[in-house]
Amino acid sequence: MSDPRTLVIIRHAKAEQSGASDFDRQLTDRGLVDAAQAGEWLAARGVEPDQALVSAAVRTQQTWEAVNDAAGWDLEATTEDSLYEAGTETALDLLRAADDHVRTLVVVGHNPTMGTLAALLDDGNGDDEAANELTLGFPTCAVAVLEYDGEWSDLDEASASVIGYHRA
């Protein structure tokens, strides 16, 4: 495939310590700022997503809205209830189900799944500095950008290259 796909993995931004439930926790002021900065960073890299899969939790929805707005995109997210408690395999299955026309896919979810997913997919052939930063952790509002040369349905362990990493 001559035109690689782009996968953007985002952990939700900083959220309040408590809420009516864990699912309902909202972003802090810092979280909103961090998410906006992540959106600006992605836009500066020329990232323009075709689809965004976002956990149904309030903090992930708010993260996506802030990223989307700050990047200047106008993309309505696909809410994925299963991302809220997804393990790495479930998240990977959701990515594999993306439509063939999707060239750039964003996923916004929770740790440890998002950080583990980014590390699992990395084949070690991308940006060494970004990959090294990824190994140091995936804090709130971390963003990993990976390049993938294949069909989404074939996405698997060590099949993509980390080409960018941003942390708040």
60: helix, coil or strand? helix
Which residues are documented as binding site?
59
Q: What is the CA radius of gyration of the chain?
A: 14
What's the rounded Cα separation, in Å, for the pair 80 and 57? 9
What are the residues whose beta carbons fall under 8 Å from the beta carbon of 101, sequence distance 6 or more? 50
Residue located via tokens 């309030």: 58
Token pair 């992930």 in the structure block, residue: 60
Annotated binding site for substrate: 59
Could you tell me if 114 and 121 are in contact, meaning their C-beta atoms sit under 8 angstroms apart? no
132 half-sphere exposure, CB direction, 13 A CA radius? 3
